[in-house]
Structure 1
Amino acid sequence: MIAAIMESTEHRSCAYGLRHQTRCLSAVKSTDGKSRFIIGTQELLKPNEVHLLTFDEDIFEISTTIFSHPHEIWDISASKHDPDLVFTCYKQVIDGKKVQSKASLWRMKVTQKDSEEDDLERIHHHQPRGELEHVLTLDAGDGSVKKVIWQDSTEVISVEDWRICIWDIDTKQGTAKLTGSIETPDKNFKFTSAVMNPHAQEVVAVYGRSIQGWNLSSLKTTFAITDSQPAMLLCIDYNPNRPFQIATGGEDCKIRVWDVRDTTAGPLMTIQDHTHWVWSVAYNKFHDQLVLTSSSDCQVNLQSIVSISTGADYKYGDGSEEGSEHDEDADDQVDNAQEAPTDGLVQAFDQHEDSVYQVAWSSVDPWLFLSLSYDGRAVMNQVPSEEKFKIIMN
């Protein structure tokens, strides 16, 4: 494993290399203000690992704790409520021939060491080891689970090829109870991804070329956009600050932003800055005008969609202020017009040499994000200072 700092006149970044193939990462809840991410490795019929990365901004350095994992990991999801809990979706070979996809919840247990032991490990470049303590396994029977989404500390959603399952979990008792399921609307297409609506009890999934939402209580359809594009959809995210807005990416290299209240109007915005399949899209939860995307063109793109974000709501105000105060605000806006954020590609990050399957924003730092490519290269980057300044000042 190798960590390195890369600097240029434009930006500063930090890279971490794993000696394994990888395709999944997740941001971890922070309790001390430091940004943390977990990565799962994907080696067929070989020992695998979970890497917990901690980024120290003061010294611009990544430290790591490594946990052994018994099977190749295809997806990983950290709890939003407990920084020690993580779901992994993995493939397991049964009887030497049959492959099943399963999902298990683990508790990451890190051995506490004194400062002298920590110093010795740093000197000899030894990464501390931790233990994954098995908590529970989601057993739905068909062996095709590919993703787990946290709804809250006691409810999770699992995405399988042909259905979405809703589970009540008890981490103290180590139990999981299936409380409902949703079948794929089109038997010709498997579910490829899903996301929770952060504003309501709703799950939204993509399958084939379509997007559909379901109420988690009634299990009834909330909206459907069928045949939304000419190619398969691969990823989806929900705007954390603006209800009814989602972003999708797929095999036509495009990102589309949708308002699900009008399913016949077409996308609010279409972005095409990638040259191959788009595997990941992620809204910034602090500033939803910033959207990260990654692709098998080996590139990570930072997009600004300010015109359809909550940032647009405050750009000129609602005109309700009176007198000189409003006039001064208007003058300030004119003065800062050239510095205001605009739609478009903020920056393309080309630090990967293989397909970039996942990007994730830090859970605590609004300007920090991590990208991960199939060759095991993880790169920590920051929003360019110029764009950051524009957002803060406007």
Structure 2
Amino acid sequence: MDCEARCMTSMTADEDNICFLVGTNNIKNDKNQVNKLFMDPEASRLMSKSFRHPAGEVRAIAAHPTKSNLLATCTADFSSLGGTHSITIWNIEEDKRTLETVSRLPTDPVMSCLEWEPTSMRCATMTPFTPEVQLLDMENEPKSIQNLKIPLQNEEDEMFSVRWSPHFDGNMLGVTTGRTALCFDCRTENDYLKVKDAHPHRAISMDFNPNLQHVIATSGDDGYVRIWDTRSPSSALMSLHPHAHWVWSVRFHPVHDQLLLTGGSDASVVLSCAQSVSSEQQKEFRDDDEEEEEEEDFVEKLQDGQLERIDEHEDSVYACAWSSADPWTFASLSYDGRMIVSNVSRKHKYALMQL
């Protein structure tokens, strides 16, 4: 990308092509773009299409769960005094290389996070310095339908991230604020699970295990990633130390939950393994109880800890994401606008698939 960028998402509606969306946040409004990056299946190389983003900086971006031509952005336009902010739904005009405004919801202040929930078609959004998460109905146009008040451990705590759980019919929402990670049931606002002091200073990002509904991962400014059972949050199930600085993004693999993808401000992307606290480990325990030991070919199993490390970025890595089309492909984005698409190594892939 030609500009600075901090937000990226996989195009979940496109299940046939490896495709990601990136939004830039340059202070010069006329330079900002939404970039669609995709793999050319014939040439096996990364291709890009850029679309001018006429609403200024892209502070957050979300792809429509079922329609590949629609996306939403949190915008910040400072061309006028005080600036204007909004959440806007766009239609991607591929032939014209433009973004057409579908609908727009003005916001004050600027929102810094946007997460689209595929089951209910709601979006969760927030701003760092207001202790609440706003839920939007995105069916036709952005419309506020619920505000979740977030209990702060300290008044000065910032809001860092929101994340929908793939479980509980789209009603569980995760939030990181200050040192704490919270999990809310949106149907009962006061009912939440709390991981207090998940990290010593700031809990920055979190994700839900796709196979174990009570397990989450958090990352912090201490360089650690921790895995928790929210039913017993007094101590972490596992602590990993993949980075030397802030960990801006943590993502479970969409199928094999022993894999964790992280990006940090040490300019690194790390693929880690948490085999011993994964759903696969629980399955192994059940198999041991049900079956007698038999002679079989040796299959190498992955060990806990770092599997792969990518040090090709030159700036802080703010976002990482798994491809919706190919579960062995992932992308990472650094602040200087560099995006790298990588694959899980064949060795680790075969170990996971028990081949």
**Shift of residue 177, structure 1, vs aligned partner:** 2.6
1:85 aligned residue (70, 75, 95): 70
Matched residue SS, 2:142: strand
| Distance in 2 between residues matched to 1:24 and 1:169, nearest whole Å | 20
Q: Counterpart amino acid of 2:239?
A: T
Checking the alignment, whether the CA contact within 8 Å between 2:125 and 2:162 is kept in structure 1 is no
Q: Which moved more, 1:240-249 or 1:51-60?
A: 51-60
Q: Within the alignment, does 1:336 sit opposite 2:298 as a pair?
A: yes
Partner of residue 92, structure 2: 108
**Shift of residue 108, structure 1, vs aligned partner:** 1.1
| Distance in 1 between residues matched to 2:139 and 2:353, nearest whole Å | 42
1:195 aligned residue (157, 163, 167): 163
> Which 5+ residue runs of structure 2 have no aligned equivalent?
none
Q: Within the alignment, does 1:373 sit opposite 2:339 as a pair?
A: no
Identity, % of aligned positions:
29
| Distance in 1 between residues matched to 2:289 and 2:237, nearest whole Å | 28
**Shift of residue 315, structure 1, vs aligned partner:** 3.1
| Distance in 2 between residues matched to 1:31 and 1:232, nearest whole Å | 34
Partner of residue 352, structure 1: 313
1:135 aligned residue (94, 102, 110): 102
**Shift of residue 268, structure 1, vs aligned partner:** 0.8
Partner of residue 389, structure 1: 350
**Shift of residue 30, structure 1, vs aligned partner:** 4.8
| Distance in 2 between residues matched to 1:320 and 1:231, nearest whole Å | 42
| Distance in 2 between residues matched to 1:260 and 1:58, nearest whole Å | 45
Q: Within the alignment, does 1:248 sit opposite 2:209 as a pair?
A: no
| Distance in 1 between residues matched to 2:108 and 2:250, nearest whole Å | 28
1:162-173 matches, cutoff 5 A = 162=130, 163-171=132-140
Matched residue SS, 1:314: helix
1:166-245 matches, cutoff 5 A = 166-171=135-140, 175-186=141-152, 187-200=155-168, 201-245=171-215
Checking the alignment, whether the CA contact within 8 Å between 2:315 and 2:336 is kept in structure 1 is yes
Cα RMSD for the two superposed structures: 1.9
**Shift of residue 82, structure 1, vs aligned partner:** 1.4
| Distance in 2 between residues matched to 1:292 and 1:107, nearest whole Å | 30
> Which 5+ residue runs of structure 1 have no aligned equivalent?
1-17, 112-128
Q: 1:288 to 1:58 in 2, by over 3 A?
A: farther
| Distance in 2 between residues matched to 1:106 and 1:150, nearest whole Å | 14
Q: Within the alignment, does 1:277 sit opposite 2:246 as a pair?
A: yes
Q: Which runs of 4+ in 1 moved over 4 A?
A: 319-322
Partner of residue 115, structure 1: none
Q: Counterpart amino acid of 2:240?
A: I
Partner of residue 233, structure 2: 263
Partner of residue 57, structure 2: 72
| Distance in 2 between residues matched to 1:31 and 1:234, nearest whole Å | 29
| Distance in 2 between residues matched to 1:169 and 1:294, nearest whole Å | 29
Partner of residue 3, structure 1: none
Partner of residue 290, structure 1: 259
Q: Counterpart amino acid of 1:55?
A: M
Query: CA-to-partner distance for each residue in 1:34-53, whole Å, 9 max, x for gaps?
Result: 11000111110232111111
Q: 1:165 to 1:32 in 2, by over 3 A?
A: closer
**Shift of residue 351, structure 1, vs aligned partner:** 0.8
Q: 1:210 to 1:327 in 2, by over 3 A?
A: closer
Q: Give the greater-gyration-radius structure (CA).
A: 1
State how many pairs are aligned: 346
Q: Which moved more, 1:60-69 or 1:297-306?
A: 60-69
Matched residue SS, 1:315: helix
Q: 1:379 to 1:176 in 2, by over 3 A?
A: closer
Matched residue SS, 2:350: helix
Q: Which moved more, 1:101-110 or 1:293-302?
A: 101-110
Checking the alignment, whether the CA contact within 8 Å between 1:30 and 1:364 is kept in structure 2 is no
1:295-334 matches, cutoff 5 A = 295-315=264-284, 317-319=286-288, 321=290, 326-328=292-294, 331-332=295-296
Checking the alignment, whether the CA contact within 8 Å between 2:6 and 2:59 is kept in structure 1 is yes
